[in-house]
Structure 1
């Protein structure tokens, strides 16, 4: 007998063997579940959320199998867990369940996908993952942000990656090449030469200020969403080189 318990050493060894086997079986089942999900058209974030949920449930089952092997009545454990959940709710700590529910809705409705660039609850970054309790973002300067799922679900979600094209804007001062119209035509020629600047919708150029020697132009052009982050810098460099040669 093990001191201070009603278990024999053989009972404990048997329970540990059950625990190890159940854990291995759970890992195998999770692996099979992942492979099955990969064959479906379920979005990556939703699949990741489902895997985490199934993994958590299987690990609970593993623990219940371990306690059962020790001769502990599983029903009493479940009753105890129910009491704990009741205490959590009673003490106003229902945020855990709220985050879980919000995570389910985010995974199902999919307002964003993995690697989308979003702004949510005042934070901006690339989506890394949606977990059972939180959503993970990585900022462009590689800072990790973890937001509770309820904050994500209860706030406006701005997804900069959702649509295939986006508009970028530049405001620059140029020396006049004869007159404002000639200057605008030169700027437009630079925009048309760049293969990453879309011509449909076509670029727009507006005069914001005009002097005897210079003209301030507001440039609005479109690019593919994956390119738009660099386009403003690239076009600006091309325009500077073009006007330096004039």
Structure 2
């Protein structure tokens, strides 16, 4: 049997020929390559022409790629021999049926993704907290936002939840205030403790001179006077500054002869006759 005859043989239980199947496979392969090329070109165009943030560019590229793959799928189906118009109508009916049976969250997440990309309450590589979940933003996709926590745990959050919840962005601002809490005994010289703590913050190279570092009394507790060391630092330096001040205030108070008291509870016993 010649190749031409083989290609003209129909698939069992259908009118589809092997020739149309082979052609559809070729179209799918070539189309996949074309989609990759067009997606790469679209990405470069957005990066060069526009000043959009990386997160917005990534969202638009994903959306563009999905549209191209849907178009490629329709072309492949048409190449096999199906009527595209009936397929489109069928897909529309299926989508409508799915939405009618309670998958409206899909559309909600899609819309939320558009708003997140447009208004950018979060951006790529920022440290955020959403609904009690903290992590670094990896991407905002069509349906979900992806975070990575400090312990390298990968988290996916639906876009609707991100858009509908308060978002705490820890790295958006250029500077952050560091606060270190410490206690001193009631019988200690409070002025000396404040001076030592202030000198500690002022001497740290990561502490910004403005706003000036300050030490405030936050509470007159049961067994101590509670102080708070407050200093401003650049956001990337914040955690290093906080760790250094936590360690340094213990050493500085020890040198100055200022104790850090333990909580105490006085217990009085009465003898019952």
TM class by shorter chain equals over 0.9
Query: What's the CA shift string for 1:75-116, capped at 9, x where partnerless?
Result: 111101100111012112111111101100100111111111
SS in 2 for 1:20: helix
Aligned equivalents of 2:185, 2:246: Cα separation in 1: 15
Residues 188-199 of structure 1 correspond to what in structure 2 (within 5 A)? 188-199=198-209
TM-score, normalising length from structure 2? 0.83
Q: Report if the CA contact (8 A) 2:193-2:253 is conserved.
A: no
Query: What's the CA shift string for 1:205-235, capped at 9, x where partnerless?
Result: 1234499xx8542211111111212322111
Kindly indicate whether residue 136 of structure 2 is the aligned counterpart of residue 118 of structure 1.
Answer: no
- Equivalent position of 1:9 in the other structure: 18
- Equivalent position of 2:196 in the other structure: 186
Kindly indicate whether residue 66 of structure 2 is the aligned counterpart of residue 35 of structure 1.
Answer: no
Is the radius of gyration larger for structure 1 or structure 2? Answer: 2
Which segments of 5 or more consecutive residues in structure 1 lack a partner in the other structure? none
SS in 1 for 2:236: coil
Kindly indicate whether residue 96 of structure 2 is the aligned counterpart of residue 86 of structure 1.
Answer: yes
Aligned equivalents of 1:193, 1:210: Cα separation in 2: 29
Query: What's the CA shift string for 1:179-210, capped at 9, x where partnerless?
Result: 32122112111111111111211111123449
Kindly indicate whether residue 227 of structure 2 is the aligned counterpart of residue 217 of structure 1.
Answer: yes
Q: Report if the CA contact (8 A) 1:172-1:216 is conserved.
A: yes
Aligned equivalents of 1:228, 1:161: Cα separation in 2: 10
How far apart are 1:174 and its partner, in Å? Answer: 4.7
For the aligned residue pairs, the C-alpha RMSD in angstroms reads 2.2
Q: Report if the CA contact (8 A) 1:22-1:65 is conserved.
A: no
Which segments of 5 or more consecutive residues in structure 2 lack a partner in the other structure? 1-8, 257-273
Q: Report if the CA contact (8 A) 2:179-2:228 is conserved.
A: yes
How far apart are 1:36 and its partner, in Å? Answer: 1.4
Kindly indicate whether residue 87 of structure 2 is the aligned counterpart of residue 56 of structure 1.
Answer: no
TM-score, normalising length from structure 1? 0.92
Aligned equivalents of 1:61, 1:112: Cα separation in 2: 31
How many residues of Structure 1 are paired with residues of Structure 2 in the alignment?
Answer: 245
Q: Report if the CA contact (8 A) 1:177-1:183 is conserved.
A: no
Aligned equivalents of 1:55, 1:35: Cα separation in 2: 14
- Equivalent position of 2:171 in the other structure: 161
Aligned equivalents of 1:173, 1:90: Cα separation in 2: 61
Aligned equivalents of 1:142, 1:148: Cα separation in 2: 19
Aligned equivalents of 2:221, 2:33: Cα separation in 1: 74
Aligned equivalents of 2:92, 2:172: Cα separation in 1: 41
Query: What's the CA shift string for 1:3-27, capped at 9, x where partnerless?
Result: 2221221221111111111111011
Aligned equivalents of 1:54, 1:101: Cα separation in 2: 15
Q: Report if the CA contact (8 A) 1:64-1:74 is conserved.
A: yes
Greater Cα offset, 112-121 or 49-58: 112-121
How far apart are 1:178 and its partner, in Å? Answer: 7.7
